[in-house]
């Protein structure tokens, strides 16, 4: 399958969902809580429905796993060698806290590997995308398109960390890296910081799900980076357990 040919339509779809998300972001929206106590808003559901409906029109034969409809049983999912992986809003805490650092995420997974990804940051006016063999790109808020490549790190390593989930285990890991500078970012933008050469490593020793990482993982990989578990194996997708193991995302170092 020539998955890169899908990119323009996926970007358009992500941007349409982002526009709707931004409309709700600018209102006095309500915040509710799911069974796991994570927040959800009307923006999550609006983006979910727009993206799922759009992907079904784009590729009716490819199944979809979204955070807001993650009920497909393993007996069904284990046969998915290719599927769409969607996080309608990654960083709902950033959304409800109005920091602007939330994202809309769409990935295509093939045989456990993210081969295409689109990440939009609606409040920042930024769009990232990438595909296996095609490279990674960013369109900034001025409309300029930049090709993304990870960089050889400077002498003081730039460690990107979560603004909402920086736990003791992650802090201890960071201390083992030696002299460093902390770069804080929200949602899947942490991967994108590495892809565009603004950070070098992102250790995540806390819970994430596949939809939290898939799209940005694809972009980072297309920019020359990697995402590995703590035992240096590639982070894989389409598992029975949708929770990710602890991982480290990095550019040309680690």
Whether 185 contacts 193, CB under 8 Å: yes
Classify the C-alpha dihedral 73-76-77-82 as positive or negative.
negative
Q: What is the rounded average pLDDT of the residues 168-179?
A: 89
Output the average pLDDT for the chain: 93
Higher-confidence position of 213 and 31 = 213
Higher-confidence position of 112 and 71 = 112
Give the helix/strand (H/E) hosting 10: helix 7-25
User: Domain ranges in the chain?
Assistant: 3-148, 157-250
pLDDT at 1: 54
Domain 157-250: give its CATH code: 3.40.190.80
Whether 130 contacts 136, CB under 8 Å: yes
* Residues of the chain above pLDDT 90, percent: 73
In angstroms, the CA 150 to CA 147 distance is: 10
Confidence tier at 128 by pLDDT (50, 70, 90): very high
Confidence tier at 168 by pLDDT (50, 70, 90): confident
**Which residue in 131, 161, 160, 123 sits closest to 148, CA to CA?**
131
pLDDT at 164: 66
In angstroms, the CA 8 to CA 228 distance is: 28
pLDDT at 144: 98
In angstroms, the CA 11 to CA 109 distance is: 16
In angstroms, the CA 135 to CA 117 distance is: 11
In angstroms, the CA 33 to CA 42 distance is: 12
End-to-end Cα spacing for the chain? 32
pLDDT at 162: 76
**Which residue in 17, 168, 39 sits closest to 91, CA to CA?**
39
Q: Which residues pair with 226 in a beta bridge?
A: 250
Higher-confidence position of 215 and 153 = 215
How confident is the model over 180-190, as pLDDT tens digits? Answer: 999 988 889 99
Residue 229 confidence (pLDDT) above 90: yes
Least confident of 1-5, 56-60, 64-68: 1-5
pLDDT at 163: 64
Domain 3-148's class? alpha beta
pLDDT at 107: 98
Whether 143 contacts 164, CB under 8 Å: no
Nearest 5 degrees, angle CA 218-CA 204-CA 116?
5
Residue 120 confidence (pLDDT) above 90: yes
């Amino acid at each position: 399958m020539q998955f890169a040919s899908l990119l323009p339509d996926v970007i358009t779809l992500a941007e349409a969902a982002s526009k709707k998300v931004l409309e709700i972001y600018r209102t006095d929206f309500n915040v509710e809580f799911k069974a796991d106590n994570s927040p959800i808003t009307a923006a999550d559901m609006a983006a979910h429905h727009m993206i799922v409906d759009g992907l079904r029109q784009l590729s009716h034969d490819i199944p979809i796993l979204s955070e807001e409809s993650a009920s497909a049983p393993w007996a069904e999912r284990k046969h998915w060698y290719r599927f769409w992986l969607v996080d309608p809003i990654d960083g709902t805490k950033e959304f409800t806290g109005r920091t602007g650092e939330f994202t809309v995420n769409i990935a295509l997974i093939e045989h456990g590997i993210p081969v295409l990804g689109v990440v939009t940051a609606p409040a920042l006016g930024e769009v990232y995308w990438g595909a296996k063999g095609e490279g990674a790109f960013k369109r900034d808020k001025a409309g300029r398109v930049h090709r993304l490549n990870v960089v050889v790190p400077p002498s003081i390593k730039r460690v990107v960390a979560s603004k909402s989930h920086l736990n003791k285990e992650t802090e201890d890991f960071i201390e083992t890296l030696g002299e460093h500078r902390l770069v804080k970012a929200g949602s899947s933008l942490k991967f994108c910081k590495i892809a565009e050469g603004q950070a070098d490593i992102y250790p995540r020793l806390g819970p994430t799900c596949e939809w939290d990482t898939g799209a940005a993982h694809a972009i980072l990989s297309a920019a020359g980076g990697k995402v590995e578990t703590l035992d240096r194996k590639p982070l894989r997708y389409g598992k029975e357990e949708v929770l990710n193991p602890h991982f480290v995302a990095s550019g040309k170092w680690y």
